[in-house]
Structure 1
């Protein structure tokens, strides 16, 4: 555990986003030290508990090796570049609905880079499309991405109701993305040889799968704290490595985000500016969510806007659409580009992601305000 703690601290020292959040907290504390004892109340602990549980479960699935083996077999069965691209994009989107968008990338991208080395497919372009795919697919469920997890806890609606409300948007986004994918990759024949036998930890696999549904049910019943405690205890008894490998730094980042953004939202100048945007009007709220996501990323945008408006569905549409566009729109974008190892990936990403934002924004607006879904 000491080694794991050292790894977390080393990662935090290199995490610019964390350092910015920490610096902001120090500044708030210096200018208004009287609020320090109330910082804990600013954190949405049910959301943090739900996120911790999901990270544990997905880490268990990842470390079991089953997803990696399944992915290699699936892609190895594809006969053309276009078929492989469509399968990888679809897999990334589907995985993101249950494993969160960033975990889906950690599963799919390493596999993709290996396949591209074997087949000559354009690796950076493929990873960019997978980043777009997880942004689209993860919008469907409350557990697909951190902003949905927060909005779900805020809305108090059921898991099924949340999915039903986001389904039209995700269906439209995926139809557009799959069409673009088919046009962007050729029908060149490919052949992928299976060179590696990936071992599977069956106990870890089945235990993680068995814990998944009860955890979701308990979270849906607003018992996320008890649920994460049970999952944590199970892994500590069965496979402590899962707990050691968890991204504890990410949880700390989200805690700081809640505190910083709610302190910022409470400033008179900020409150006045936000109230002047007319966020009680759904149209204004939708465009504000997209715009804020391009500036501060969609998770902080969701947290900030929830302080001024309660239309969770419009916020969800706006911040999920806002994951496209500029790299900062979603943390998943940053993860995908970092995994490519390509210094020119930023240019390729924006060549596809910015037009995707324009299309997604129009689709989302049409569904919310012209298709009777508002």
Structure 2
């Protein structure tokens, strides 16, 4: 318990969100009813299921399988990109980055590879892949619960972005160097198929709750019970700081939404689908795409435009997605070998390119 509290209080993203929530009290008066507890509860259930999968070493096994299939460094990087892209759809972009980036950096160091370009593509893959499912990232989870989106509508909206994103990532990955691969995979922990089946069933159960096919309260209780049955230690590893950060986001958004001047300004910016889309893209660059989604959803019925705006808006600046900041933390130990400023230059350039290409594609898609 002490460890969990200490880890939470030392989480820089939570501290920043808490400060922003506190400062927002000088702008407007927040309403506690604005906190979407269904989203918070669903996120908690999702975190438990993800920690169960991590405890089963599923990604470690997939990593070793990918290394066996790799013939050179380019293919190794491409497979990591695909794993981040696909894994983030189920395990969230945060977990994909926290799990894969350290593994990749260790392997890249052994191969003496320049890490900036492939690492950036892995980060982009996690952010873009997570947009495909309602559980892939926090903003999707919020949008689905806020707008009460059904399964067909969501995937009809997310599939074109997924295909465009995958095409972009594959194209960019062909610029990776192609060198002989000398890394041998490490021995991974055996996986219990029964436990994986139970965890997979739990994820499916959570999906039913997200789409209102099962009461969300039942989903939360069921997830807690399954977690206690399989591995109680997963509750220690849940990112409670992220849950509190989300609550701070809701308070921040509620406060500024009750400021008449800001409300009038946002109402003017969210009248049409194209304006919502552009506002989502720009706002994400400044305050990150999760709070941008929470903020703008209160002012517009244009789900498609907002979905595309905040998900494509996860590209671009370092703060556009919280997952970017998590990735930066993983890179700090490697600063002595390969300067961090070089990574930031490559990161900004590639994300800027991706933002331009997909942003332009999203604009034309909305006008079809």
The CA deviation at 1:222 is: 5.5
Unpaired segments of 5 or more residues in structure 2?
A: none
Please list the CA deviations of residues 248-301 of structure 1 after superposition, one character each: whole Å capped at 9, or x if unmatched: 111111011112111111111211221232x12111111000000000000000
1:261 equivalenced with 2:253 (yes/no) = yes
CA–CA separation in structure 2 for the residues paired with 1:367 and 1:258: 30
Q: TM-score, normalised by structure 2?
A: 0.91
Superposition deviation, residue 31 in structure 1: 8.0
Give distance in 1, aligned partners of 2:285 and 2:142: 19
Matching of residue 340 in structure 1 with residue 331 in structure 2: yes
Structure 1 residue 107 corresponds to structure 2 residue 99: yes
Which secondary structure state, in structure 2, belongs to the residue aligned with residue 143 of structure 1?
A: coil
- Which residues in structure 2 correspond to 1:1-374 (within 5 Å)? 2=1, 6-27=2-23, 38-39=31-32, 41-182=33-174, 184-200=175-191, 204-220=195-211, 221=213, 223-277=215-269, 279-341=270-332, 342=335, 343-344=340-341, 345-369=343-367, 372=368
Tell me the alpha carbon deviations over residues 175-222 of structure 1, each in whole angstroms, 9 at most, x when there is no partner.
01210111x212222132124343546664343123221221233226
- Kept after mapping to 2: 8 A contact 1:124/1:340: no
Quick one: distance in 1 between partners of 2:221 and 2:119? 35
Deviations 1:310-336 (A, max 9, x none): 111110000011000000000111111
Other structure's SS at 1:231 match: helix
Cα distance 1:258–1:134, how it changes in 2: closer, same or farther (>3 A)? Answer: same
Residues 76 and 191 of structure 1 are in contact (CA less than 8 Å); yes or no, is this contact kept in structure 2?
Answer: no
Separation in 2 of the partners of 1:174 and 1:122?
A: 23
Relative distance call for 1:222 and 1:294 in structure 2 (3 A) is farther
| Alignment partners' CA distance in 2, 1:7 and 1:125 | 35
Per the TM alignment, residue 363 of structure 1 is displaced from its structure 2 partner at its CA by 1.2
Q: Counterparts of 2:98 and 2:194 in 1: how far apart (Å)?
A: 22
Task: Check whether the contact 1:76–1:192 (CA below 8 A) recurs between aligned residues.
Answer: no
C-alpha contact 1:262 1:307 (8 A) present in aligned 2: no
Report the 3-state secondary structure (helix = DSSP H, G, I; strand = E; otherwise coil) of the residue aligned with 2:319: helix
CA distance in 1, matches of 2:27, 2:154: 40
Q: Structure 1, unaligned stretches of length 5 or more? A: none
Separation in 2 of the partners of 1:109 and 1:198? 20
Offset of residue 172 of structure 1: 1.1
Q: Secondary structure at the match of 1:187?
A: coil
For these two proteins, the number of residue pairs brought into alignment is 360
- What is the RMSD computed on CA atoms of the aligned residues? 2.0
Shift of 1:173: 1.8
**2: CA distance, partners of 1:251 / 1:322:** 22
Q: 1:327 aligns to what SS in structure 2?
A: coil
* Structure 2 CA distance for aligned equivalents of residues 331 and 352 of structure 1: 17
Give me the whole-angstrom Cα distance separating, in 2, the residues matched to 1:97 and 1:290: 21
* 3-state SS in 1 of match to 2:183: coil
Q: Deviations over 1:43-76 (max 9, x none)?
A: 1111111111111111110111122122122123
CA distance 1:118–1:367, shift in 2 (3 Å): same
The one of the two structures with greater contact order (alpha-carbon pairs below 8 A, sep at least 6) is 2
CA distance in 2, matches of 1:270, 1:321: 24
The answer (yes or no) to whether the contact 2:139–2:289 under 8 Å persists in 1 is: yes
Aligned equivalents of 1:224 and 1:218: distance in 2?
5
